[in-house]
Structure 1
Amino acid sequence: MARWRPLPAGLDPAVARLVVQLRKLKDDSGLSLSRLAAKTGYSASSWERYLVGRTVPPAAAVEALASLVGADPVRAEALREAAARALAHQHSDDASADDPPEPSAGPSRIRRFGRTALTAGAGAVVGAVITLLVLGPKPVHAKQQALVVTARTVYTCAFTRHDGLWYAGNSTTTSDFLEVDMWGPEVAELQCLLQHAGFSPGAVDGNFGPLTETAVIDAQKAHRLDIDGQVGPQTWAALRG
């Protein structure tokens, strides 16, 4: 039986219950991650993420694992759906509280976003405002207030075709690596292309969440690519072609 690492602190209870069940099923199977990947069609790296609660596996992955040990897939699927709802709600809350900045005019960058970085940045801004108020030449009134307005980036899909490839107007990359928890215009481009190909990623919001990962996996299956839920040159080529 595998010696599992403790679950991450602060993991949503619904996700934790799913991970515990998945770990039990894997233990019952007696398979290594590589053998589990071969038996289920989902990569070892994908199962690593599923078994620590980083992402919620698609329904087909849970069903495949349950069938390996003759377990009832209904309970596992119920746990999976509850975990997916919890993570989707969490991503929605994070997106509302932590709006990403507008993309720069220079070369595009794929971003990861953390609350620690935001808190540090906010602290620096507040410190700068206080310094200006104290040292500035104008008197500071008690009711003086500073208003900070943050605009949410809105992505659209404007499809064009050049040299036999589809583009949606957010990025022209054909090779940038994308995975869960990344965000930015490249992710929005991916979501548009998935939607165009008939694999719904949910909203085109530039956030690589569980729904986008499931859509990527479905696209990789359809195009007979390695199934890992991550995006590289082969997946870009399949979606742009």
Structure 2
Amino acid sequence: MPRWKELPAETSNSERQLLVQLRRLKDHSDLSLAALASRTSYSRSSWERYLNGKKPVPRKAVEELARVCGTEPTRLIVLYDVAERARAEAPAPGRADEPSSPPRSAQSSSPAQDQEQGQEQEREQTPDQDQDRDRDQGQDRDRDRAQESASTLAPASVRPGRTVPLGWMLAAVALAVAVAFGAGVLTARGWDDEAPAEKPGPVAAGAGYLRGQTYKCAVRRQDGELRAGHSDTREMLLDINSTGFDVVEAQCLLREKGFSPGVFDGLYDERTKGAAKKFQQAHHLVVDGIIGPDTWRELRR
């Protein structure tokens, strides 16, 4: 069986868990991507993009994959909902506010030709070119601001056609750059103040996690539930190869409940999964070794 490609580094933890489960389900069914395409409403190239993390997998595709493989889709839908919520809470990439006019050639052309050429270029542009165009527009606007500031701050005695002393020119450029940089900082701060505070969630919980480091467990009861101080999640799904502070929290709570995994390094390995299974069996939960909302609820009691 061929090995799967490594998922993109920017793939979130919740999205990664969903794709791992979908890959396992596809592998256990012995169905090729072409076979999936013939039995579902999605093409072979679409399944390749979904399962390799190149494009978010739709909810309908998750349900159809479960149906084709003959499994209950409930757990996969829970994983999908968590990943979808994480994508919705992630900040969207910024875009430029104003489009720029299409580039002109070195030779002169009529207004009708310019309009026709601009419309043709706009039709041929792809999403990636749109992003490059927006980035270039932003750079052009920054240069225009710097030039305007330089012309404003130049001495009154300087007139077109006269030679500008090098010292004056360098001083004006340096001052214009400093003004532009300060304006950018103030604008960024204004945006930060106006933006809503990010809610703590499964993705943000693992910030600052260092793989291979052992963490301390200081379990205490707070607001009527047990907490180890590494994460406050009650719904993150943890399975083999999950990493981060959510895993450290689960390891510490398992030890507190008498089912110690022996390690507290934030890596959900076989030892941690074995301890989770024993805990689930003792509390009459589904014994699958996957820590989800039901297992979290019992761990925090």
TM, length-normalised to structure 2:
0.40
- Structure showing greater radius of gyration is 2
